């Protein structure tokens, strides 16, 4: 949490819109007014970041570790806002009929839009949000700096909407430090109507 002022300064220098940064305390939290989770420890929440149009949390900084929430993505809508040109080139449109590998491919398309490389490591059926869902693990080499990241996601289609949690961090050090905490948090997740 001591890094908050430094993170804020870096984001401003990078030319991002003025974000608001707030601390998310340990305990019960509600994300996007619908996804209830229980946290083992505090996180930093960034709002108003143009590069991250979904709820985005971090412990070390958004360029280091990133926890993103995709809540209530409706059939026919995109994961994140896209320009018309980007949508034509690499569509991120969710369809309620998508199979697990197609949902993973949707996130892969989002994560590699900048030219990063993605490798799917594992895809398993799991119980998520009280019903059948999926958990996938991946490796990503970030194009901008060649850092190798490890990541994983949970996803479920419920009543025609996609709900997902995605976490990634550098594979050495940061990923093993926070991965168990994020897994526990995902296992506590539930939906509110």
How much is the pTM?
0.86
pLDDT digits (tens, 9 = 90+) for 28-73: 999 999 999 999 999 999 876 666 678 999 999 888 999 999 999 9
DSSP 1-46: -TTHHHHHHHHHHTT----EEEEE-SEEEEETTTEEEEESS-EEEE
How is residue 183 annotated by DSSP?
Answer: H
Domains detected in the chain: 4-191 (3.40.1000.10)
Give tens-digit pLDDT for 68-115.
999 999 999 988 765 555 556 667 899 999 999 999 999 999 999 889
**Residue 35: per-residue pLDDT:** 96
Residue 182 burial by CB count (10 A; 0-12/13-18/19+): exposed, middle or buried? buried
């Amino acid at each position: 949490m001591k890094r908050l002022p430094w993170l804020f300064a870096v984001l401003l220098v990078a030319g991002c819109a003025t974000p608001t940064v707030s601390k998310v305390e340990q305990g019960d939290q509600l994300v996007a007014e619908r996804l209830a989770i229980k946290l083992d420890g505090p996180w930093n929440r960034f709002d108003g970041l143009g590069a991250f149009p979904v709820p985005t949390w971090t412990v070390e900084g958004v360029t280091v570790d990133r926890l993103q929430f995709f809540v209530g993505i409706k059939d026919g809508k995109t994961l994140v806002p896209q320009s018309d040109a980007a949508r034509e080139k690499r569509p991120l449109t969710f369809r309620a009929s998508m199979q697990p590998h197609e949902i993973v491919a949707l996130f892969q398309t989002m994560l590699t839009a900048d030219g990063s490389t993605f490798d799917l490591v594992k895809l398993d059926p799991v119980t998520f949000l009280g019903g059948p869902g999926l958990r996938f693990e991946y490796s990503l080499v970030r194009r901008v700096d060649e850092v190798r990241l490890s990541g994983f996601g949970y996803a479920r289609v419920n009543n025609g909407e996609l709900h997902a949690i995605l976490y990634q961090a550098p594979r050495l050090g940061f990923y093993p430090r926070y991965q168990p905490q994020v897994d526990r948090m995902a296992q506590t997740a539930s939906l509110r109507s």
